[in-house]
């Protein structure tokens, strides 16, 4: 049986990665979405084990030390990381795994697995990104400011990745992602 691939979707917070992933999974249920661990507090409606594994800082640091993460990064004051075993298990079963992660983690994956397809999702503009971050009403003003600052740094890194796709229109962005993955 052929092994599965890792596919990374990266780009700034608020660019619409989550929505694109949801649509992609609905159309391609054969893909497996990796569930990350994070030290961030759950937002209203987020479920442990479904949206993230919500862990303490101590628990997260323990998983780093014991090599249980495929990649990890600090983002806007919290840790985020991809559990190694679950991804490996799916790949061994021949299933392709989708990672929706920020840029520092995406770099780590590309370095460890150079064959990985890394897609960078761009906003139509920085002002539109800011509008989307505020519009989703999920984060405090302080968190939005940290995310916007980080977004500026992340956007500069977009050309490091295999593909750059602008999320101006959901349907066309999705079609471009599908073409990159399945062609």
Q: Which residues contribute to the site for ligand 5GP (CB under 6 A)?
A: 13, 17, 36, 40, 71, 73, 75, 80-82, 100-102, 104-105
Identity of the residue, 1 or 180, whose beta carbon is nearer to ligand 5GP in the bound complex = 180
Q: What would the two tokens of residue 118 be?
A: 């890394």
Is-contact 165 120, C-beta < 8 A? Answer: yes
Helix (H, G, I), strand (E, B) or coil at 144: helix
Identity of the residue, 5 or 150, whose beta carbon is nearer to ligand 5GP in the bound complex = 150
Residue showing the smallest CB distance to ligand 5GP in the complex: 105
Instruction: Name the minimum Å distance from CB 2 to ligand 5GP.
Output: 25
Can you say how many angstroms the Cα of residue 123 is from the centroid of all Cα atoms in its chain? 15
Instruction: Name the minimum Å distance from CB 115 to ligand 5GP.
Output: 19
Q: Measured between alpha carbons, how far is 157 from 141 in angstroms, rounded to an integer?
A: 25
Instruction: Name the minimum Å distance from CB 52 to ligand 5GP.
Output: 7
Identity of the residue, 40 or 134, whose beta carbon is nearer to ligand 5GP in the bound complex = 40
Identity of the residue, 96 or 108, whose beta carbon is nearer to ligand 5GP in the bound complex = 108
Residues 6+ apart with CB under 8 A from 103: 10, 11, 153, 154, 157
Instruction: Name the minimum Å distance from CB 90 to ligand 5GP.
Output: 15
Instruction: Name the minimum Å distance from CB 57 to ligand 5GP.
Output: 15
Identity of the residue, 101 or 181, whose beta carbon is nearer to ligand 5GP in the bound complex = 101
Can you say how many angstroms the Cα of residue 143 is from the centroid of all Cα atoms in its chain? 18
Q: Measured between alpha carbons, how far is 82 from 63 in angstroms, rounded to an integer?
A: 10
Q: What would the two tokens of residue 162 be?
A: 């295999």
């Amino acid at each position: 049986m052929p092994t599965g691939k890792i596919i990374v979707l990266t780009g700034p917070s608020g660019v619409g990665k989550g929505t694109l992933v949801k649509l992609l999974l609905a159309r391609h249920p054969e893909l497996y979405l990796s569930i990350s661990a994070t030290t961030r507090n759950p937002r209203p409606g987020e479920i442990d084990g479904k949206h993230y594994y919500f862990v303490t800082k101590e628990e997260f640091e323990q998983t780093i030390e014991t090599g249980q993460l495929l990649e990890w990064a600090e983002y806007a004051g919290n840790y985020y990381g991809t559990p190694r075993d679950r991804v490996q298990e799916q790949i061994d079963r021949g299933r392709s795994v989708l990672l929706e992660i920020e840029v520092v983690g995406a770099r780590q994956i590309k370095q460890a697995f150079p064959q990985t397809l890394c897609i960078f999702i761009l906003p139509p503009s920085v002002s539109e990104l800011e509008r989307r971050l505020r519009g989703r009403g999920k984060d405090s003003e302080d968190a939005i400011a940290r995310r916007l600052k980080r977004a500026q740094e992340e956007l500069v890194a977009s050309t490091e990745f295999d593909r750059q796709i602008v999320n101006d229109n959901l349907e066309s962005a999705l079609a471009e992602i599908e073409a990159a993955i399945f062609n």
